[in-house]
Chains A and B, each alone.
Chain A
Amino acid sequence: MTTEAPVRPGHRAHPAPAATPSARLRWAVADGWVMTKRNMAHVVRAPEEVIIYFTLPIMFVLVFGYVFGSGMSVPGGDGGDAYREFLLPGVFVMTMLYGLGATATGIAMDVGRGVVDRFRSMPVARSALVTGRSLADLFRALLEMATLLVCGLLVGWQWHDGVGNAILAVALILLLRAAITWAGIFLGMLVPNPDTVSVIVFPAAFPLTALSNVFVAPELMPGWLSAVAQWNPLSSTVAAARELFGNPGLGGDSWAADNAILLAVAWPLLLLSVFVPLAVRRYQRLSR
Chain B
Amino acid sequence: MIPDGIAVLAEGLRKRYGAAEALAGVDLSVPAGTVHGLLGPNGAGKTTTVRALATLLRFDAGRAHVAGFDVVEQPDEVRARIGLTGQYAAVDEVLSGRQNLVMFGQLFHLGIRDARRRADELLEQFDLTDAAGKSAAQYSGGMRRRLDLAASLILQPDVLFLDEPTTGLDPRSRNGVWDAVRALVADGTTVLLTTQYLEEADHLAERISVIDTGRVVAEGTSDELKSRIGGDRVEVVVRDGADLAAAAEVVGSVAASAADVDPDTRRVSASVRERVTALGEVVQRLREAGVVVEDIGVRRPTLDEAFLYLTGHRTDQEVPA
* A interface residue numbers (CB < 8 A to B): 1, 4-18, 27, 30-31, 34, 37-38, 41-42, 45-46, 113-124, 128, 287-288
B110 within 8 A of A: yes
* B interface residue numbers (CB < 8 A to A): 51, 54-58, 76-77, 79-82, 84, 86, 88-96, 99, 103-111, 114, 117-118, 121, 125, 135, 151-152, 154-156, 158, 187-188
Chain A residue numbers with a CB within 8 Å of B114 are 4-7
Considering the chains assembled together, what is the distance between the CA atoms of A13 and B189 in angstroms?
A: 12
Whether A114 and B90, one on each chain, are in contact in the complex, defined by CB atoms closer than 8 angstroms, is: yes
Whether A117 touches B80, Cβ cut-off 8 Å, given contacts A12-B155, A12-B158, A34-B106, is no
8 contacts between A and B (CB under 8 A): A10-B156, A12-B155, A12-B188, A14-B155, A41-B95, A116-B90, A287-B51, A287-B56
Considering the chains assembled together, what is the distance between the CA atoms of A16 and B77 in angstroms?
A: 8
Whether A34 and B80, one on each chain, are in contact in the complex, defined by CB atoms closer than 8 angstroms, is: no
Chain A residue numbers with a CB within 8 Å of B54 are 121
How many inter-chain contacts with C-beta < 8 Å in the A-B complex?
113
Whether A121 and B125, one on each chain, are in contact in the complex, defined by CB atoms closer than 8 angstroms, is: no
Considering the chains assembled together, what is the distance between the CA atoms of A122 and B58 in angstroms?
A: 16
Whether A15 and B55, one on each chain, are in contact in the complex, defined by CB atoms closer than 8 angstroms, is: no
Chain A binding surface SS class: loop
Q: Which 8 A-B pairs have CB atoms at the shortest separation, nearest pair first?
A: A17-B76, A118-B90, A114-B90, A121-B84, A15-B109, A123-B80, A4-B111, A123-B79
Chain A residue numbers with a CB within 8 Å of B135 are 45
Chain B residue numbers with a CB within 8 Å of A13 are 155-156
Whether A38 touches B103, Cβ cut-off 8 Å, given contacts A45-B135, A122-B79, is yes
Chain A residue numbers with a CB within 8 Å of B91 are 115, 118
Chain A residue at minimal CB-CB distance from B117: A7
Please pick, from B56, B95, B110, the residue contacting A117 in the complex, using a CB distance under 8 A: B56
Chain A residue at minimal CB-CB distance from B184: A10
Whether A123 touches B90, Cβ cut-off 8 Å, given contacts A4-B109, A12-B155, A15-B109, is no
A110 to chain B, nearest CB (A): 8
Whether A10 and B110, one on each chain, are in contact in the complex, defined by CB atoms closer than 8 angstroms, is: no
Chain A residue at minimal CB-CB distance from B84: A121
Chain B residue numbers with a CB within 8 Å of A11 are 156
Whether A41 touches B99, Cβ cut-off 8 Å, given contacts A11-B156, A117-B90, is yes
A234 to chain B, nearest CB (A): 31
Considering the chains assembled together, what is the distance between the CA atoms of A262 and B21 in angstroms?
A: 54
Whether A42 and B95, one on each chain, are in contact in the complex, defined by CB atoms closer than 8 angstroms, is: yes
Whether A123 and B86, one on each chain, are in contact in the complex, defined by CB atoms closer than 8 angstroms, is: no
Whether A117 and B86, one on each chain, are in contact in the complex, defined by CB atoms closer than 8 angstroms, is: yes
Whether B111 and A38, one on each chain, are in contact in the complex, defined by CB atoms closer than 8 angstroms, is: no
Chain B residue numbers with a CB within 8 Å of A288 are 57-58
Whether A16 and B94, one on each chain, are in contact in the complex, defined by CB atoms closer than 8 angstroms, is: no
Considering the chains assembled together, what is the distance between the CA atoms of A34 and B90 in angstroms?
A: 17
Chain B residue numbers with a CB within 8 Å of A121 are 54-56, 79, 82, 84
Chain A residue numbers with a CB within 8 Å of B92 are 38, 115
Chain B residue at minimal CB-CB distance from A17: B76
Chain A residue numbers with a CB within 8 Å of B86 are 114, 117-118
Considering the chains assembled together, what is the distance between the CA atoms of A122 and B109 in angstroms?
A: 10
Considering the chains assembled together, what is the distance between the CA atoms of A46 and B94 in angstroms?
A: 7
Whether B109 and A118, one on each chain, are in contact in the complex, defined by CB atoms closer than 8 angstroms, is: no
Whether A123 touches B94, Cβ cut-off 8 Å, given contacts A7-B118, A12-B156, A16-B80, is no
Chain A residue numbers with a CB within 8 Å of B187 are 10, 12
Chain B residue numbers with a CB within 8 Å of A42 are 94-95
Chain B residue numbers with a CB within 8 Å of A1 are 111
Chain B residue numbers with a CB within 8 Å of A17 are 76-77, 79-80
Considering the chains assembled together, what is the distance between the CA atoms of A34 and B107 in angstroms?
A: 7
A32 to chain B, nearest CB (A): 11
Whether A38 and B95, one on each chain, are in contact in the complex, defined by CB atoms closer than 8 angstroms, is: yes
Considering the chains assembled together, what is the distance between the CA atoms of A6 and B105 in angstroms?
A: 12
Considering the chains assembled together, what is the distance between the CA atoms of A265 and B109 in angstroms?
A: 37
Whether A14 and B107, one on each chain, are in contact in the complex, defined by CB atoms closer than 8 angstroms, is: no
With A13-B155, A117-B51 known, 18 other A-B pairs at CB within 8 A are A1-B111, A4-B110, A4-B114, A7-B110, A7-B117, A12-B187, A14-B155, A15-B80, A15-B109, A17-B79, A38-B92, A45-B96, A46-B94, A113-B90, A115-B91, A122-B79, A123-B79, A128-B107
A5 to chain B, nearest CB (A): 8
Chain A residue numbers with a CB within 8 Å of B103 are 34, 37-38
Whether B89 and A114, one on each chain, are in contact in the complex, defined by CB atoms closer than 8 angstroms, is: yes
Chain A residue at minimal CB-CB distance from B189: A12
Considering the chains assembled together, what is the distance between the CA atoms of A49 and B165 in angstroms?
A: 33
